């Protein structure tokens, strides 16, 4: 079976390419491969920057829902603690620049992964979707912290609860991405930027990242842990089951009005 993650080198830049067609949905294998590759990037002194991009028609549509159904009888908290939580923390703690090159769709957990990178370039036509409420879930993968930090609390609330997509141009205007480029120039532009950063003062860049983490998200680990707690509650509801089934059947979900939260689940 072909690897869901291609790892190549371009000088001092490690290039990580998502490779799970057709839309690079995140699976357990892909998430574990990313964790392993980022660990390697941290240990290898010849790696001075990381470029995260994707093959096929989208950066990623988020979690593979077919695989998610297989863990529904288990704890979603345990699932997140093994997969996305450590991945998000790795991205923020890696004291080397990480650039995400985004195209097509960037949704759900994949949005969290992109937001956890240091810099984001988006191809024209890229569409962003918080995604979780569309399948009866709450945000995870750091989205509940990182998205409001970038686009503002009110706007992040709107897009999290309405599940409407936003464009690359809107993402640029709101600070979610750093640059928008023509689709045919995305890879070369992202690689050139990664090479530029790789040639910089790596210790200073790593300390800058550490300082930004301390100033703006010192509680990130607690946030992703609480997201996992909340997701465990949401994952046990009929709303979530209906949301996933509707998505797989390509129809609007029918949530009704009588179920509520499905448990106390206090803070």
Distance of CA 168 to the CA centre of its chain: 16
Residue 80 lies in a domain: yes
On the question of pLDDT at 261 being above 70, the answer is no
25: CB partners within 8 A, 6+ apart: 60, 61, 62, 63, 64, 65
Measured in Å, how far apart are the chain's first and last C-alpha atoms?
Answer: 43
Q: Report how far residue 243's alpha carbon sits from residue 123's, in angstroms, rounded to the nearest whole number.
A: 29
Residue 178 lies in a domain: yes
Question: Measuring CA to CA, which residue among 228, 236, 261 is closest to residue 78?
Answer: 228
Report pLDDT digits (tens) over 95-137: 999 999 999 999 999 999 999 999 999 999 999 999 999 999 9
Rg of the chain over all Cα atoms, to the nearest angstrom? 18
Residue 192 lies in a domain: no
On the question of pLDDT at 161 being above 90, the answer is yes
Residue 188 lies in a domain: no
Residue 179 lies in a domain: yes
Q: Is beta strand 98-102 parallel, antiparallel or unpaired with respect to 119-123?
A: parallel
Distance of CA 59 to the CA centre of its chain: 10
Q: How many domains in the chain?
A: 1
Report pLDDT digits (tens) over 198-256: 999 999 999 999 999 999 999 999 999 999 999 999 999 999 999 999 998 999 999 98
Give yes or no for a contact between 81 and 236, defined as CB atoms under 8 angstroms apart: no
Alpha helices in 163-219 (DSSP H): 168-173, 186-198, 202-216
* pLDDT value, residue 179: 98
CATH of the domain at 95: 3.90.226.10
Question: Measuring CA to CA, which residue among 200, 225, 125, 229 is closest to residue 167?
Answer: 125
On the question of pLDDT at 258 being above 90, the answer is no
* pLDDT value, residue 99: 98
- 3-class DSSP state for residue 240? helix
The domain containing residue 100 runs over which residues?
1-183+199-267
**CB burial class (10 A; 0-12, 13-18, 19+) of residue 38?**
buried
Give yes or no for a contact between 31 and 86, defined as CB atoms under 8 angstroms apart: no
Q: Is beta strand 105-107 parallel, antiparallel or unpaired with respect to 127-129?
A: parallel
Residue 93 lies in a domain: yes
Residue 194 lies in a domain: no
Q: Report how far residue 140's alpha carbon sits from residue 146's, in angstroms, rounded to the nearest whole number.
A: 10
Residue 191 lies in a domain: no
């Amino acid at each position: 079976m072909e690897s869901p993650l291609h790892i190549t080198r371009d000088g001092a830049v490690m290039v990580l390419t998502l490779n799970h067609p057709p839309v690079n949905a995140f699976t357990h294998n892909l998430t574990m491969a990313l964790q392993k590759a980022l660990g390697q990037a941290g240990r290898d002194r010849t790696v001075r920057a990381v470029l995260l991009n994707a093959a096929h028609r989208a950066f990623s549509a988020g979690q593979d829902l077919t695989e998610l159904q297989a863990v529904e009888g288990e704890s979603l908290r345990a699932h997140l603690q093994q997969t996305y939580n450590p991945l998000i923390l790795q991205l923020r703690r890696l004291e080397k620049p990480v650039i995400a090159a985004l195209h097509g769709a960037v949704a759900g957990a994949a949005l969290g992964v992109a937001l956890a990178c240091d810099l984001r370039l988006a191809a024209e036509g890229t569409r962003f979707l918080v995604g979780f409420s569309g399948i009866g879930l709450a945000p995870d993968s750091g989205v509940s912290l990182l998205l409001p930090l970038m686009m503002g609390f009110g706007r992040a609330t709107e897009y999290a609860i309405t599940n409407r997509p936003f464009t690359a141009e809107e993402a640029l205007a709101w600070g979610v991405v750093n640059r928008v480029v023509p689709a045919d120039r995305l890879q070369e532009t992202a690689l050139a930027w990664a090479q530029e950063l790789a040639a910089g003062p790596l210790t200073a860049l790593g300390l800058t990242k550490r300082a930004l983490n301390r100033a703006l998200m010192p509680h990130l680990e607690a946030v992703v842990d609480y997201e996992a707690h909340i997701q465990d509650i949401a994952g046990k509801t009929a709303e979530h089951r209906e949301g996933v089934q509707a998505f797989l059947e390509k129809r609007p979900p029918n949530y009704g009005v009588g179920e509520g939260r499905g448990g106390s689940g206090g803070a």
